[in-house]
């Protein structure tokens, strides 16, 4: 049954690909909800499945199993007009605006393209007018209406990508690493623009990124992904102050602190990220987890709400007098750390 608090609900979503060596489990049963007007950050290393998850949610990749519920209705069986309407309401902004925009089209053509395919969203308004409004919304000067992507800087190109997504007036937008390909100074401009648009027109975002500082800046809640699974999900303050999953702890310990003289320890994970092709049974993190033992090799722990609003997928994280944590008998075997 759908949860009324959520605009979008993802239930046990899986996306597998057949490859020569077997089956690649890119997304292996993820579940979460996104509230209306909220930004949910989805973070993890390259190859953890976060972009595939974003694409499967809006059906750019057809999911292998699971369900995506949008405004209380399952979307995975939509066809024809229903699917077209879903695509208008759920849009995506891609990582690299240079490769995601057709170099042969100018700004007007790029933004008007989706409007020509979905004329019904115009409701009598002219395409010219809707393009003008979208350009104003994202801060693109009207003089650039005839410019081609190669004539623009990275920030302006990404503004076209955002205008293209917003021209159809969606309710939900997947932002797939929208600032990773941009210079640092332009990253801040685009992040501020995305926050302003969310406030002004009530958008809901799934913000995918590998940079935790960027995700912290924009997200209300953060989900951490590892090898196709969500291993921890909670509000952004809790995840930075009290991460509980051993992978989240290692990930956060690697963030550089821009303060001269401030020392702390970085958790060093042993081994490599395992292959997602034909994964072994057991916890997805067992091969690198310093606390792995018995049950970890037998079954993947489900993502469970261990304290209100704080979900963790670990067999051992449990309630204690001072909140949830890994018990002392587990953490007695402490991970390798180096000072940074
Ligand atoms: Fe580590 Fe075991 Fe917890 Fe997985 S279930 S994170 S291997 S302690």
CA terminus-to-terminus distance, the chain = 47
The DSSP secondary structure of 272-332, one letter per residue, reads -PPPSBSPPSS-TTTTT-TT--GGGGT-PPP-EEEETTEEE--SS-EEETTEEE--HHHHT
pTM: 0.91
Which has more confidence, 124 or 312?
312
The pLDDT score that the predictor gives to residue 258 is 67
Q: Tell me, what's the pLDDT at 332?
A: 66
Ligand 1 centroid – CA 335 distance (Å): 13
Residue nearest to atom 6 of ligand 1 (CA): 314
Q: Is 315 in the pocket of ligand 1 (CB under 6 A)?
A: yes
pLDDT at 238: 95
Residue 339 pLDDT grade (very low, low, confident, very high; cuts 50, 70, 90): low
What is the pLDDT at residue 123? 83
Q: Would the CB of 209 count as within 6 Å of ligand 1? A: no
Distances (CA, A) of 188 to 2, 18, 83, 87: 36, 39, 34, 28
Going from the Cα of 34 to the center of ligand 1, the distance in angstroms, rounded, reads 26
Identify the pLDDT of residue 197. 94
Q: Could you tell me the pLDDT band of residue 139, with boundaries at 50, 70 and 90?
A: very high
7 CA distance to ligand 1 centroid (A)? 31
Q: Is pLDDT of 2 > 60?
A: no
How many A from CA of 284 to the centre of ligand 1? 8
pLDDT for res 147:
96
Residue 314 near ligand 1, beta carbon < 6 Å: yes
What is the predicted pLDDT for the residue at 326? 81
Asked if pLDDT for residue 145 goes beyond 90, the answer is yes
Say which residue, 262 or 185, is predicted with more confidence.
185
Encode pLDDT of 266-325 as tens digits: 787 887 888 999 998 999 999 999 898 889 999 999 999 999 999 999 999 887 777 778
Query: What pLDDT digit, counting tens, does each position of 200-224 carry?
Result: 999 999 999 988 888 988 999 999 9
Residue 338 banded pLDDT, cuts 50, 70, 90: low
User: Does residue 10 have a pLDDT over 70?
Assistant: yes
- The pLDDT, as a whole number, for residue 194 is 95
Q: Of all protein residues, whose CA lies closest to atom 3 belonging to ligand 1? A: 314
Note the residue count of the chain: 340
How many C-beta atoms surround the C-beta of residue 63 within 10 A? Answer: 21
Question: Which of 245, 246, 297, 335 has most ligand 1 atoms within 8 Å of CB, for mutation?
Answer: 246
Atom of ligand 1 nearest to the CA of 245: 6
Write out the two tokens for 175: 């932002």
Q: Which atom of ligand 1 is nearest to the CA of 283?
A: 4
**Nearest-10 crossing angle of helices 107-117, 127-137:** 120
What are 127's two structure tokens? 């395409």
Q: Which tens digits make up the pLDDT trace of 14-65?
A: 999 999 999 999 999 999 999 999 999 999 998 999 999 999 999 999 999 9
Task: At 31, list the tokens.
Answer: 């579940």
């Amino acid at each position: 049954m759908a949860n009324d608090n959520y605009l979008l609900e993802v239930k046990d979503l899986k996306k597998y690909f057949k490859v020569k060596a077997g089956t690649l489990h890119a997304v292996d049963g993820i579940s979460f909800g996104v509230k209306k007007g909220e930004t949910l950050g989805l973070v993890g290393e390259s190859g953890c499945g976060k972009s595939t998850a974003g694409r499967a949610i809006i059906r750019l990749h057809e999911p292998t199993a699971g369900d995506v519920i949008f405004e209380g209705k399952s979307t995975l069986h939509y066809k024809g007009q229903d699917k077209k309407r879903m695509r208008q309401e759920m849009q995506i902004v891609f990582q690299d605006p240079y490769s995601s925009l057709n170099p042969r089209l100018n700004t007007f053509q790029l933004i008007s393209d989706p409007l020509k395919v979905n004329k019904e969203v115009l409701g009598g308004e002219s395409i010219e007018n809707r393009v003008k409004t979208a350009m104003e919304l994202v801060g693109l000067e009207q003089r650039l209406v005839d410019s081609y992507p190669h004539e623009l800087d990275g920030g302006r190109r990404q503004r076209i990508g955002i205008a293209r997504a917003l021209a159809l007036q969606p309710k939900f937008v997947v932002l797939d690493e929208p600032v990773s390909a941009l210079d640092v100074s332009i990253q801040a401009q685009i992040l501020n623009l995305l926050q302003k648009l969310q406030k002004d027109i009530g958008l809901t975002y799934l913000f995918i990124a590998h940079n935790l500082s960027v995700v912290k800046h924009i997200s209300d809640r953060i989900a951490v992904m590892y090898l196709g699974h969500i291993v921890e999900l909670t509000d952004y303050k809790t995840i930075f102050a009290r991460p509980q999953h051993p992978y989240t702890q290692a990930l956060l310990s690697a963030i550089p602190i821009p303060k001269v003289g401030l020392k702390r320890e970085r958790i060093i994970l042993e081994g490599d990220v395992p292959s997602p092709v034909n994964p072994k049974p057991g916890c997805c993190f067992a091969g690198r987890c310093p606390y792995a033992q018995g049950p970890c090799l037998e079954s993947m722990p489900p993502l469970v709400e261990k304290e209100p609003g704080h979900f963790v997928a670990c067999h051992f994280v449990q309630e204690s007098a001072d909140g949830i944590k890994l018990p002392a008998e587990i953490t007695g075997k402490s991970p390798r750390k180096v000072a940074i």
